[in-house]
Amino acid sequence: MKRVLQTAVTVAVAGAGWALAEHRWFALRHQTLPVLHGAEASTLRVLHLSDLHLVPGDRRTARFVLRSLAHGPDLVVVTGDILGHPHAIDDAVDLLGMVGTGRPAVAVLGSNDRYGPVVRNPFRYLLGPTRTHPGVRLDTEQLVVGLKEAGWHVLRNERITVPTATGDIDVVGLDDPHIGADSPDQVDWTPHADGGPLRLGVVHAPYVDVVDRFAEEGFDLTLAGHTHGGQVRVPFVGALTTNCDLPLDMARGASRYTDRMWLHVSAGLGTSRFAPVRFACRPEASIVDLVPRRTASDAL
């Protein structure tokens, strides 16, 4: 029995040490999705960032994000939870200002861009979405103004047309449904008469009713974050929670959500500074190459 207990303690300590180390072991994922309309459309390369949870002086995350630009994205999309500390706004604006230089850049906000992180019971996440945010209110408008001055489109229940290397794309960004800030009825969902290569939905938390709305409105791709990919995953099992009502098998990466629409959920680059662990779920950014639909099923 003593040997069993010693082994169990050793495994637990090793697992905890790995989880602490893994949360800074960044990965750049690559994905190709057949979503563009028009056989003549060229590949559109998207850098998808999410859940940076930046704290002041976080040079390691900044270096990784800037290195990702070497892959030549045509468009950058950030799906919320940029901030991880009340005093990280200037750092966030400086970093994303560099990321957005010379290319279109779109962002939506997450709950952590409004409220500072707080200490929580980590096991609470396994019981369902944690929608309450007792943290300090952040200066969200300072973040939004700074990003807009740096050339970013910060969408808060808004629709815009974004010029890209493959043509003008139709983009709708909804505010964070995790705190009830989404207002899809504020958006004019009418398709453009001239079509276009892509209808893109952007939201922080991929709650099913929101993702369903994008699908029902004929969107080709929705980008989201929030889930941290489960943050702690069980090998050969996967995520134990998404912190929303999205199915567990869609917690990270690309999923064929409907015959027409794909969903891409980023596991994100950060964590709450009060829970700096990941297990079997490396922090990530994604290069997503959007290519023309080539088969009958892709064209639906």
* pLDDT 10s digits, 24-35: 799 999 999 999
User: Residue length, the chain?
Assistant: 300
Look up the CATH architecture of domain 2-292. 4-Layer Sandwich (3.60)
Average pLDDT along the chain: 89
| Whole-number Å distance between alpha carbons of 145 and 87 | 16
Q: What does the domain layout of the chain look like in residue ranges? A: 2-292
Residue matched to tokens 């290069």: 287
What's residue 131's pLDDT?
A: 62
pLDDT for 12 beyond 60: no
Q: What percent of the chain has pLDDT over 90?
A: 75
Q: Identify whether the C-beta of residue 100 lies closer than 8 Å to the C-beta of residue 76.
A: yes
Asked if residues 264 and 222 have their Cβ atoms less than 8 Å apart, the reply is yes
pTM of the model: 0.91
Q: How far apart are CA 35 and CA 289, in angstroms?
A: 10
pLDDT tens, position by position, 213-224: 999 999 999 999
Give Cβ neighbours of residue 31 (< 8 Å, ≥ 6 apart).
253, 254, 264, 286, 287, 288, 289
8-state DSSP, 190 = P
* pLDDT tens-digit map of 133-171: 667 999 999 999 999 999 999 999 999 999 998 999 999
Cα distances from 282 to residues 176, 243, 297, in angstroms, run 24, 17, 32
